[in-house]
């Protein structure tokens, strides 16, 4: 599935986390250890379902990297923010 692009308005938060981790670690997303070894991706997706008004945040460590996810869809990897928009580039 190389070359697949994600629609960040409809794809799951767990996919956004994987893409942010890939970018932050300069690793192809397909070469990363599965996210489910650290956190349950389905539970993460359910917690951050679109339309939810709850102010939720989750932090976990993924192979020495601190990952934070906020209810607005923002993913932070070791302090670098990857916003919920269509570009996974880090926000400064």
Q: Per-residue pLDDT tens for 43-72?
A: 999 998 866 777 889 999 999 999 999 988
CA atoms within 13 A on the CB side of 82: 24
For residue 82, what are the contacts with CB-CB under 8 A and spacing of at least 6? Answer: 16, 19, 20, 23, 24, 74, 75, 76, 88, 89, 90, 91
More confident residue, 30 or 1: 30
Query: Is residue 74 within 8 Å of residue 85, measured between CB atoms?
Result: no
The mean pLDDT value of the chain amounts to 82
Q: How many domains does the chain have?
A: 1
Q: Is residue 18 part of a domain?
A: yes
Which pLDDT score is estimated for 69? 95
Indicate the pTM of the whole model. 0.76
Place of tokens 């939720």: 56
pLDDT digits 0-9 by tens, 29-39: 999 999 999 99
Which pLDDT score is estimated for 84? 61
Which pLDDT score is estimated for 86? 42
State the residue range of the domain holding 28: 13-91
Q: Is residue 7 part of a domain?
A: no
Q: Is residue 4 part of a domain?
A: no
Q: Is residue 69 part of a domain?
A: yes
Which pLDDT score is estimated for 40? 95
Q: Is residue 3 part of a domain?
A: no
Which pLDDT score is estimated for 18? 95
């Amino acid at each position: 599935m190389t070359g697949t692009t994600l629609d960040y308005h409809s794809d799951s938060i767990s996919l956004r986390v994987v893409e942010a981790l890939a970018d932050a670690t300069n690793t192809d997303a397909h070469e990363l250890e599965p996210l489910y070894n650290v956190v349950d991706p389905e539970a993460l997706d359910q917690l951050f379902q679109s339309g939810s008004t709850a102010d939720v945040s989750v932090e976990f460590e993924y192979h020495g990297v601190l990952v934070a996810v906020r209810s607005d869809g923002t993913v932070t990897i070791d302090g670098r923010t990857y916003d919920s928009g269509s570009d996974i580039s880090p926000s400064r």
